[in-house]
Amino acid sequence: MNSPIRWFARLGQGGAIALLLLVTACQNNTSTAESPAASASASPAAASADGPFKLGSLMPLTGDLAQYGQTMQDSINLLVDTTNSCGGALGQPIELISEDDQTDPAAGAAGMTKLAEVDRVGAVVGAAGSAVSSAAVDIAVRNQVVQISPSSTSPSFTDRAKNGDFKGFWARTAPPDTFQGDALAQLAREQGFNTVAVLAINNDYGNGLLEAFVPAFEALGGTVVNKDNPTKYAENATTFDSELQSSFGDKPDAVLVIGYLETGSLILKSAYEQGLLGGDTKVLLTDGMKSDELAENVGKGSDGQFITTGVIGTAPSAGGPAIDAFTKLYQEKFNRAPNVYDPNSWDAAAILVLAAEAAKSGRGADIEAKLDEVANAPGEVVTDVCKGLELVRAGTDIDYQGASGTVDFNAQGDVVGSYDVWTIGDDGKVKVESTINVGG
């Protein structure tokens, strides 16, 4: 790439990772003994206001979410290349420092520690998974590093923000699962499902979406048949026989599978092998499995057709004012269509760059103070990041509206939007059939 991107050693390389994990463990123990205010003010290695703007990324380049994390990282790289081609930020090229969180909370905590305290970045795009962001966010807040996740959708972040845990250093460009739970409930009722069983990954993402779906579905007159004892599976599980028998056993109208692509593919393949698919019980899926790789991963049945043909699910829509321009730029660069959270990754990085320019500083505390100013009204609406930088340098207030949506943050750092209803076609590719609008 043309921009000066620094790639540091990946997590997992011997003693370095062991040291980072030790540092993280010690700091986590320390933080429990201090008040949040004392921890935040102690900022051991705050980014400098001078010099190049250091932007970090914390993405799952390996692990269960790698199919998403790799393309999300590409989107961040593209944003940095694009802004560096029009002058960068603070009069210098942006310096991007990237870490692999391995879809693992411990690795994510270690990566955030390195970014905040060794690299001294002012802001981080990431993580992807909610469990990883949960492990990283306290480290970011303590070091006054702004963290914007493109895809961590657990409702717990909203609750913690309301409690004042994040002090403005957390935001996300994907809406929380309280909204997706509503969209799933609406979709289930539109499909005529009166009874649904839930099979969910046992982590922040799965539990948060489960807790959001149940009351939303009940409010629409539906029944969650395993509400009192929902079926859950471990993140590292490889066999699902008992979980499938439990969730399909009562013959509900549908089973809602809340999971990620890797384990979710194994679940659907096992369900087919057990003869649980193709009958009266249908399958509902979530955004964590929206991928063109799903059909190939699960495979074809005895009839030669993809097993997943016709499954339906929801995922946050990528339909902001800048989606066409982003898609064109992305396809020209990578010769493929953007993945599900790629527009959100582009927007997260763009907002951080614009906020740093508005603050005339790469320090996290200064960037945090400018997030709403560049992302929310009032201001001149702008969808092009280079145009936005030009206006900010001229002293003009802007309202950035991006590829994933208008990205207006509320007091908890949440955005609201709409959800795509997606399915798998006969060709094994994801198709969007309709949209469900969800308010916040």
Per-residue pLDDT for 8 more than 50? no
pLDDT at residue 36, rounded to an integer: 34
pLDDT tens profile 245-257: 999 999 999 999 9
pLDDT tens profile 91-114: 999 999 999 999 999 999 999 999
pLDDT at residue 4, rounded to an integer: 31
Per-residue pLDDT for 328 more than 60? yes
Per-residue pLDDT for 3 more than 70? no
Q: 3-class secondary structure for the chain?
A: CCCCEEECCCCCCCHHHHHHHHHHHHHHHHHHHCCHHHHHHCCCCCCCCCCCCEEEEEECCCCCCHHHHHHHHHHHHHHHHHHHHCCCECCECCEEEEEECCCCHHHHHHHHHHHHHHCCCCEEEECCCHHHHHHHHHHHHHCCCEEEECCCCCCHHHHHHHCCCCCCCEEECCCCHHHHHHHHHHHHHHCCCCEEEEEEECCHHHHHHHHHHHHHHHHCCCEECCCCCCEEECCCCCCCHHHHHHHHCCCCCEEEEECCHHHHHHHHHHHHHCCCCCCCCEEEECHHHCCCHHHHHHCECCCCCECCCCCEEEEECCCCCCHHHHHHHHHHHHCCCCCCCHHHHHHHHHHHHHHHHHHCCCCHHHHHCCHHHHHCCCCEEECCHHHHHHHHHCCCCEEECCCCCCCCCCCCCCCCEEEEEEEECCCCCEEEEEEEEECC
Query: Tokens 């009351």 correspond to what residue?
Result: 215
How far apart (Å, rounded) are the C-alpha atoms in residues 223 and 418?
24
Q: State the average pLDDT for the chain.
A: 89
How far apart (Å, rounded) are the C-alpha atoms in residues 322 and 270?
40
pLDDT at residue 51, rounded to an integer: 81
Helix-helix angle 105-113:130-142, to 10 degrees: 30
How far apart (Å, rounded) are the C-alpha atoms in residues 2 and 77?
10
Average the pLDDT over 408-412 and give the result: 94
Which of these, 94, 120, 121, 86, lies nearest to 4 by C-alpha position?
94
Least confident of 124-128, 148-152, 173-177: 173-177
pLDDT at residue 437, rounded to an integer: 79
pLDDT at residue 177, rounded to an integer: 87
Domains of the chain: 5-174+341-400 (3.40.50.2300), 178-318+417-438 (3.40.50.2300)
Confidence at 377, pLDDT banded by 50, 70, 90 = very high
pLDDT at residue 416, rounded to an integer: 78
What are 154-162's contacts with CB under 8 Å, separation 24+? Answer: 154/130, 154/204, 154/205, 154/207, 154/208, 154/209, 155/208, 155/211, 155/212, 156/130, 156/204, 156/208, 157/130, 157/133, 157/412, 157/413, 157/414, 158/412, 158/414, 161/411, 161/412, 161/413, 161/414, 162/412
Per-residue pLDDT for 1 more than 50? no
Q: How many residues does the chain have?
A: 440
User: Is the distance from CB of 417 to CB of 409 less than 8 angstroms?
Assistant: no
pLDDT at residue 423, rounded to an integer: 97
In this predicted model, which residue has the larger pLDDT, 258 or 235? Answer: 258
pLDDT tens profile 54-97: 999 999 999 999 999 999 999 999 999 999 999 999 999 999 99
Confidence at 319, pLDDT banded by 50, 70, 90 = confident
Least confident of 3-7, 76-80, 206-210, 425-429: 3-7
pLDDT tens profile 17-65: 333 333 333 333 333 333 333 333 344 556 766 789 999 999 999 999 9
User: Is the distance from CB of 287 to CB of 339 less than 8 angstroms?
Assistant: no
pLDDT at residue 45, rounded to an integer: 58
Question: What percentage of the chain carries pLDDT values higher than 70?
Answer: 88
Q: Give yes or no for a cis peptide into 127 (omega within 30° of 0).
A: yes
Question: What percentage of the chain carries pLDDT values higher than 90?
Answer: 83
Average the pLDDT over 373-385 and give the result: 97
Per-residue pLDDT for 164 more than 90? yes
